[in-house]
Amino acid sequence: MEIIICILRYIIDMKYLLYLFYFFCFFPYIQLFPFNTDSQPNALLVAAILFCLHKGKGKMNKYLFFLLLAFMAALIILIINRPITSLGIRLVGGYISLFLIPYATYISLKITNGIPYKLFIFVVLIWLLVGVVQLFVDLNFFQFLLYREAHSDLIESGRGVNSLAPEPTFYGVICVLLAIINQLCFRKEKYYKWILFACITQIFVISRSSACIFMIILSLFTYIIYQVFCSSESRNRYILFFLGIICGTFLFFIIDFSSLESYRIARLLSLLQSNPSMFLVIDASVNERFNHTFFSLYGFLTDWGFPHGFDAFTQKVLDIRSSGTFSTLFIDYFDPRAYQRIMSGIGALFFELGVFAFLPLYVIVKIFYCLQPKNPGSMFCLFLYLSVMLNAVPFMTALAPFIIGIVIYLNDELTSRTIL
């Protein structure tokens, strides 16, 4: 093994390897090999190489060690929960990503002194350019790079385009995560506001992702509540924001969205106005995303935090459905195949790992929280990140654990400067 590592160090230019790793994290859906999945393991493979090349060089960061413990817990659960299936092995890959990608990100940022700013601008512009071309010229532009291509009726149905993601929701999610990186790493840079504007435009205008819009609203509401009740800074200002949200909620039920029903988000808002109780079951996409989050957390709570492993979710949902509990949450055309893999990253943590889910969750909350002295917007980024991971993003999507590595690196830099 040591001989192989020495050969790799000799033949591989570390600079190009780091940039290749960044590229695959920023473009997690581009397919180079025939893997039967939306989120491609390209970044994970490069992260594994970086891990091997860096192994034994210095002491491991404590937060990375907690993520390693979470991966080891997942591996033990997989071994105990026999028989071991191909699905179980594939799902454990998410926990490998949850450790290896933050680890590779941390050491990469140490070498390059943060994310190269020109690279980040290039990434945002590529996502924007492809999205604009798909919206106005050709819906299938660059779709050959993905595992599955866009549906031809996307725009006609009121949804946006995919850009370099498998569907508009994931395109919107990528833009949300890019906006988080922009806030955490580049808020004092020259083009910070333009990059933020580009991300927001892609979310609201080009991808038209209703899920992302709801996530942003929920995160903003949660952040304002946090500032009102948990923060002593500028409390009066956030109290006014809080009162403004209450007034906005009342206004929401007065506004007529019927003139905008060519947009999917407007149809969903109109449905929420007219019949809130039916909101979760009328739209199949909304229903599926909610159920994956709700039933995974419900399974964690009702079984007292006991790990379920990686093949139990489908049966759990079928048992709940047959018992008649929460029958109103199931649509008529229920398909159990849609419940083989938990879409919610955080839901999967709690359902599959049980109490061991608190290891990575502690890391995520702690590292964002510790950034507050340096970056006051870090808590909003935390709420936004948690809402994304709670909704429909697995940790196999490389950009999600990549952000964890970024924040661990920023914490390390903050501590080093404080000590100095």
Which has the closest alpha carbon to 397: 155, 176, 112? 176
**Model confidence at 152: pLDDT above 70:** no
The tokens 């906006």 sit on which residue? 179
Range 197-210 burial, b when 16+ CB lie within 10 A, else e: ebbeebbbebbbbb
Dist. CA 69–CA 66, nearest whole Å: 5
Q: What is the number of structural domains in the chain?
A: 1
Q: How far is CA 351 from CA 314, 336, 401, in A?
A: 12, 17, 19
Specify whether the CB–CB gap between 134 and 161 falls below 8 A: yes
Give the residue, 130 or 291, on which the prediction is more confident. Answer: 130
The reported pLDDT for the residue numbered 419 is 37
% the chain with pLDDT above 70:
75
Structure tokens at 311: 């093949």
Q: What is the pLDDT of residues 216-259, one digit of tens each?
A: 888 888 888 787 777 666 555 666 666 666 665 555 555 555 55
Q: What is the pLDDT of residues 287-318, one digit of tens each?
A: 777 788 888 888 899 888 899 888 888 888 88
Specify whether the CB–CB gap between 179 and 402 falls below 8 A: no
105 within a domain of the structure (yes/no): yes
352 within a domain of the structure (yes/no): yes
Dist. CA 296–CA 274, nearest whole Å: 29
The tokens 């993601």 sit on which residue? 165
171 within a domain of the structure (yes/no): yes
261 within a domain of the structure (yes/no): no
Highest mean pLDDT among 135-144, 268-277, 319-328: 135-144
Q: Cβ atoms within 10 A of the Cβ of 11, count? A: 7
Calculate the CA 200 to chain-centre distance: 16
Q: Which amino acid, residue 327?
A: S
The reported pLDDT for the residue numbered 310 is 85
Q: What is the pLDDT of residues 166-225, one digit of tens each?
A: 888 899 999 999 999 999 999 989 899 999 999 999 998 898 888 888 888 888 888 887
The answer, yes or no, to whether the previous bond of 83 is cis (omega within 30 of 0) is yes
Mean per-residue pLDDT of the chain = 81
**Model confidence at 389: pLDDT above 60:** yes
Q: What is the pLDDT of residues 65-121, one digit of tens each?
A: 999 999 999 999 888 877 777 777 788 888 999 999 999 999 999 999 999 999 999
Dist. CA 202–CA 206, nearest whole Å: 5
Specify whether the CB–CB gap between 159 and 264 falls below 8 A: yes
Dmax over Cα atoms in the chain, in whole Å?
70
Dist. CA 275–CA 273, nearest whole Å: 6
3-state secondary structure at position 81: coil
26 within a domain of the structure (yes/no): yes
Dist. CA 382–CA 378, nearest whole Å: 6
3-state secondary structure at position 244: helix
201 within a domain of the structure (yes/no): yes
**Model confidence at 123: pLDDT above 80:** yes
Q: What is the pLDDT of residues 316-333, one digit of tens each?
A: 888 877 777 776 666 655
> What residues have CB less than 8 Å from 203, skipping those under 6 apart?
172, 175, 176, 209, 212, 213, 216
The torsion defined by the Cα of 84, 90, 96 and 102, in degrees rounded to 10, comes to -160
Specify whether the CB–CB gap between 310 and 87 falls below 8 A: yes
Q: How far is CA 239 from CA 214, 219, 225, 306, in A?
A: 22, 16, 8, 40
Structure tokens at 26: 């920023």
Q: What is the pLDDT of residues 401-411, one digit of tens each?
A: 999 999 999 99
Q: In which band, very low, low, confident or very high, does the pLDDT at 418 lie, cut at 50, 70 and 90?
A: very low
303 within a domain of the structure (yes/no): no
Q: Which amino acid, residue 160?
A: G
Q: How far is CA 290 from CA 82, 312, 359, in A?
A: 29, 18, 24
User: What is the pTM for the complete model shown?
Assistant: 0.88
Structural domain harbouring 175: 2-240+339-419
Highest mean pLDDT among 154-158, 250-254, 325-329, 374-378: 374-378
The reported pLDDT for the residue numbered 290 is 78
| The Cα angle at residue 237 between residues 231 and 241, in degrees rounded to 5 | 100
Which has the closest alpha carbon to 378: 185, 246, 245? 185
> What residues have CB less than 8 Å from 216, skipping those under 6 apart?
176, 203, 384
Q: Cβ atoms within 10 A of the Cβ of 374, count? A: 14
327 within a domain of the structure (yes/no): no
The reported pLDDT for the residue numbered 365 is 94
